[in-house]
Structures are given as C-alpha cells and as structure tokens.
Amino acid sequence: GIQVEQSPPDLILQEGANSTLRCNFSDSVNNLQWFHQNPWGQLINLFYIPSGTKQNGRLSATTVATERYSLLYISSSQTTDSGVYFCAVERKRDDKIIFGKGTRLHILP
C-alpha cells in the first residue's frame, strides 16, 4: 500500500525559529491535508493542498504531486505551535485516507 513518510520525527526549536516539515508519499494521491494535533488530541486543519502553494499567516505549504512530496513551513515559531503535525493523503486508487506518523514539534520559550 501507499507509504506516507514524515520527517523529521521530532524537532526541538527555540521560539522565533523557522522550520520545514516534509511529507513524502509513494503513490498517486487525490489530495493531501496537513493537520496540527494539540495536546488535547484535537486535529486542527492547516491546509488542504493537493498541489501548489498556500499561505496562512506564519504557515505555508507546498505540494509537488508529480514528485510526491509536500512541505510545511512554520516561520517565527511560537510555543503554541508545539504539538504533532500530520500529513494525510487520499490514495487515488481507492480513495482511502492514509496518515503519516507525524512530526512532533516542541518550541522552547
């Protein structure tokens, strides 16, 4: 089945730093989403980005579907950015949603 690999698995940064999270997928997909899971378990939508680039405040994302990867950029990190970031893809051949294992981000004050 499709593999969704996220890197790095863990990231510790100082407040104010920038970071890039990566999501690689091994097969054709219909779409891709990025989520942030807060400490209480709530998954928060960040981007729905099957292709191209989107920006929302300090966050932006780029998906290059032909090369099977997506990047999530976080600039000027804040402690509230801490948590786990997931990418999820919808597999083209059967429309199932597959999640990566996430990147755990810890922002130090």
Partner 1 sequence: KAGVTQTPRYLIKTRGQQVTLSCSPISGHRSVSWYQQTPGQGLQFLFEYFSETQRNKGNFPGRFSGRQFSNSRSEMNVSTLELGDSALYLCASSRLATYEQYFGPGTRLTVT
Please, what is the minimum distance in Å from the beta carbon of residue 18 to partner 1?
26
Looking up tokens 């890039």 gives 20
Closer by beta carbon to partner 1, 41 or else 57: 41
Query: Whats the size of the chain, residue-wise?
Result: 109
Distance CA 20, CA 25 (A): 17
Residue from the set 42, 53, 78, 80 that interacts with partner 1 by CB under 8 A: 42
Q: Which stretch binds partner 1 (CB under 8 A): 19-27, 53-61, 74-82, 87-95?
A: 87-95
Residue 43 lies near partner 1 (rule: CB under 8 A): yes
Q: Could you tell me where the beta strands, DSSP code E, fall in the chain?
A: 4-7, 10-14, 19-25, 29-37, 43-48, 52-56, 59-64, 69-74, 83-91, 97-99, 103-108
Residue 40 lies near partner 1 (rule: CB under 8 A): yes
Residue ranges binding partner 1 (CB under 8 A): 30-31, 33, 35, 40-45, 48, 86, 88, 90, 94-102
